[in-house]
């Protein structure tokens, strides 16, 4: 039994995992749930408890035995899982980049001065501000379809969304431009799916092992370690993105001041990352570099 949120994207993700497990001979059903993160739409997540609001009810279902696994967008998963829970599997990453969606403008550069851009991610706010300080950035909450509807109603000139979600739902045609990581560094874990289980379910960890993608897991372990070392939550304007170049994992991070009193700070490091501990150590090193530069 897979515990899942009931948004269209969350259901796609759960169905994707269900199909892969069914191919391997497992019998799989879905348990659809509404989380607090789905219900609270009038305030930013950073003000009401962070992205953990999207996973808490699913964890309760695992704890009570109503479900066996929970499928998450990894960027929504808190950096520290509650005691008794474990990440059993990280799957191959979809496009990790951010996407500009607009009905009138083909790129960020085309947006006129003072254009209204929608996002509720503090990371995207500080990165957009560093690229285009003249833009008016307004909050945007709700699931993917709700955000697109608000754009189509004319509430925004453009919105910024994760490319992965749009592509998974067959909405890649709505993307006008994708931001290269050098310009708009992704969030830790963006584009990757993680599967959570109770830590005592060794049987499930074994069953899920074939779905895991090792290089993605190592990359996101480094990214999440940056966030963990910085006290990471979605109330932190922090970006972290890692890619392999041969044997070496290259990790870039950025921190922005939400009050816009200091410029965007960047840090990077690279090293061999043969296991999760080495990847996490790389993340801790980058976090220390950010703090040394003045991030808080």
Residue 142 lies in a domain: yes
Same domain, 202 and 238: no
- Identify the CATH number of the domain in which residue 83 sits: 3.40.190.10
| 202 assigned to some structural domain | yes
Q: How far is Cα 193 from Cα 94, in angstroms, rounded to an integer?
A: 9
pLDDT of residue 84: 92
Tell whether the model's pLDDT for residue 296 goes beyond 90. no
- The pair of structure tokens assigned to 217 is 């897991």
Is the domain of 118 the same as that of 141?
yes
Q: List pLDDT tens digits, range 157-173.
A: 999 999 999 999 999 99
* 186 lies in some domain: no
Is residue 254 predicted with pLDDT exceeding 50? yes
Same domain, residue pair 76 and 202: yes
In this prediction the pTM is 0.87
Residue 279 resides in a domain? yes
Is residue 187 a part of any domain in this protein?
no
* 192: Cβ contacts below 8 Å, ≥ 6 apart: 73, 74, 75, 90, 91, 92, 93, 94, 96, 216, 220
194 DSSP β-pair partners: 72, 90
* Burial class of 170 by CB neighbour count within 10 A (0 to 12, 13 to 18, 19+): exposed
* pLDDT confidence tier of residue 46, bands split at 50, 70 and 90: very low
pLDDT band at 54; cut points 50, 70, 90: low
Q: Are residues 65 and 204 in the same domain?
A: yes
Active site residue 98: no
In this predicted structure, what is the pLDDT of residue 55?
79
Catalytic residue among 68, 76, 95, 157: 76
pLDDT digits (tens, 9 = 90+) for 260-289: 767 889 999 999 999 999 999 999 999 999
Overall average pLDDT of the 49-77 stretch = 82
Q: Which residues pair with 244 in a beta bridge?
A: 249
Q: Are residues 56 and 36 in the same domain?
A: yes
**Residue 233 pLDDT grade (very low, low, confident, very high; cuts 50, 70, 90):** low
26 and 170 assigned to the same domain: no
Rounded CA separation 289/283 (Å): 10
Q: Which CATH number fits the domain that encloses residue 272?
A: 3.30.160.40
Query: CA–CA separation, 201 vs 8, rounded Å?
Result: 28
User: What is the extent of the structural domain holding 134?
Assistant: 98-178
Instruction: Give residues with Cβ within 8 angstroms of 29, minimum separation 6.
Output: 1, 2, 18
Pair 74, 206 in one domain: yes
H or E segment and range at residue 126: helix 122-131
Whether 60 and 206 map to the same domain: the answer is yes
């Amino acid at each position: 039994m897979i515990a899942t949120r009931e948004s269209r994207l969350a259901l796609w993700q759960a169905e994707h995992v269900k199909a892969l497990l069914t191919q391997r001979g497992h019998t799989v059903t879905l348990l659809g749930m509404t989380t607090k993160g789905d219900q609270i739409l009038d305030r930013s997540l950073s003000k009401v408890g962070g992205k953990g609001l999207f996973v808490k009810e699913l964890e309760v279902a695992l704890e009570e035995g109503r479900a066996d696994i929970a499928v998450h967008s990894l960027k929504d998963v808190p950096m520290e899982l509650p005691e008794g829970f474990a990440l059993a599997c990280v799957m191959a990453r979809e496009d990790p980049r951010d996407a500009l969606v607009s009905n009138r403008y083909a790129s960020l550069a085309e947006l006129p001065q003072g254009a209204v851009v929608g996002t509720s991610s503090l990371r995207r706010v500080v990165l957009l501000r560093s690229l285009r300080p003249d833009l008016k950035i307004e909050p945007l909450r709700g699931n993917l379809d709700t955000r697109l509807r608000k754009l189509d109603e004319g509430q925004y000139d453009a919105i910024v969304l994760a490319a992965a979600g749009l592509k998974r739902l067959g909405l890649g045609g709505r993307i006008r431009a994708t931001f290269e990581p050098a310009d708009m560094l992704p969030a830790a874990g963006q584009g990757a799916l993680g599967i959570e289980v109770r830590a005592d379910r060794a049987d499930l960890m074994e069953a899920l092992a074939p779905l895991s993608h090792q290089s993605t897991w190592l990359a996101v372990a480094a990214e999440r370690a940056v966030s963990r070392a910085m006290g990471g939550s979605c109330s932190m304007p922090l970006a972290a993105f890692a890619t392999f170049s041969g044997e070496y994992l290259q990790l870039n991070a950025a921190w922005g001041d939400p009050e816009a009193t200091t410029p965007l700070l960047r840090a990077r490091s690279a090293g061999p990352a043969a296991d999760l501990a080495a990847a996490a150590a790389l993340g801790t090193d980058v976090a220390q570099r950010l703090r040394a530069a003045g991030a808080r």
